[in-house]
């Protein structure tokens, strides 16, 4: 299946792109090659390939979610230039 220049113009319009005539010809050729490659890939026999086939056999590698004690609030705030009600106090930036 080949892509026409009109189809490339339509796609460019949807993407709000402007191309010269030379660029349109080049992109038409490039997109035709891409579509041909996709058609070639879709013609491959994938009967015995699992849908989730991957080169690695990793399953869930996340660590267990555990509640741990937090840091001491006073220790965290000891170097804060200003603090208020046990929190950092920063200057107002929006009026």
Residue 95 confidence class, pLDDT cut points 50, 70, 90:
confident
Residue 21 pLDDT > 90 = yes
Task: Please name every residue paired with 87 in a beta bridge, in sequence order, or none if there are none.
Answer: 84
For the chain, what's the residue count? 95
CATH class of the domain comprising 5-42: mainly alpha
The reported pLDDT for the residue numbered 22 is: 95
The reported pLDDT for the residue numbered 1 is: 67
Find where tokens 């509640």 sit. Answer: 67
pLDDT tens-place string over residues 45-62: 888 877 776 777 777 778
Residue 64 pLDDT > 80 = yes
Residue 89 CA to residue 20 CA, distance in Å, equals: 56
């Amino acid at each position: 299946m080949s892509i026409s220049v009109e189809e490339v113009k339509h796609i460019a319009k949807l993407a709000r792109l402007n191309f010269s005539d030379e660029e349109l010809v080049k992109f038409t050729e490039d997109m035709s090659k891409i579509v041909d490659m996709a058609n070639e890939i879709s013609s491959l026999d994938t009967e015995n390939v699992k849908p989730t086939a991957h080169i690695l056999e990793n399953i869930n590698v996340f660590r267990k979610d555990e509640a741990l004690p937090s840091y001491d609030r006073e220790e965290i705030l000891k170097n804060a230039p200003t603090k208020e009600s046990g929190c950092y106090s920063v200057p107002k930036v929006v009026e």
